Amino acid sequence: MKRKILIVDDEPNIVMTLEYTFKKQDFEVYIARDGNEALQILENNIPHVVLLDIMMPGVDGYQTLHHIRNNENLKNTKVVFLTAKNKASDIEKGLKLGADKYLTKPFSLKKIVSEIHELLN
């Protein structure tokens, strides 16, 4: 069974890079450009992991995480914040709200892939 990942980010270059990388890793990849689009995708698809930016127009990453954590169907879905918000207080807040991991931009693709595989194993 292919593992599923939902990439939620409003930066096209980041989305394109992550999509290509995870398809090469044999993931089934879903893409959302903001939290609203992510929530629509999550209504019909349950990914193994959501790679989630925080700062997006409309529904931000914090609100999206809140919806994921309060949805019984998504209780086993791992959530990884991938964001430019890199202060210790930002990281603490993200983890306290229920993120499984908190990674910051700029990022290493090798590290992201490693962290995702570690979370799923």
Residue 78: closest CA among 118, 30, 120, 39 = 120
| 58 φψ region: left (φ > 0), alpha (ψ -120 to 50), beta (else) | left
pLDDT at 110 > cutoff 90: yes
Whether cis (ω within 30° of 0) applies to the bond prior to 12 is no
CATH topology of domain 3-120: Rossmann fold (3.40.50)
Sign of CA dihedral 118, 91, 9, 70: positive
- What does the pLDDT look like over 51-95, one tens digit per residue? 999 999 999 999 999 999 999 999 999 999 999 999 999 999 999
Q: How many C-beta atoms lie closer than 10 Å to residue 19's C-beta? A: 16
- Is pTM beyond 0.85 here? yes
pLDDT at 48 > cutoff 90: yes
* Buried residues in 87-103 as b, exposed as e (16+ CB within 10 A): eeebbebbeeeebebbb
Residue 50's pLDDT band (boundaries 50, 70, 90)? very high
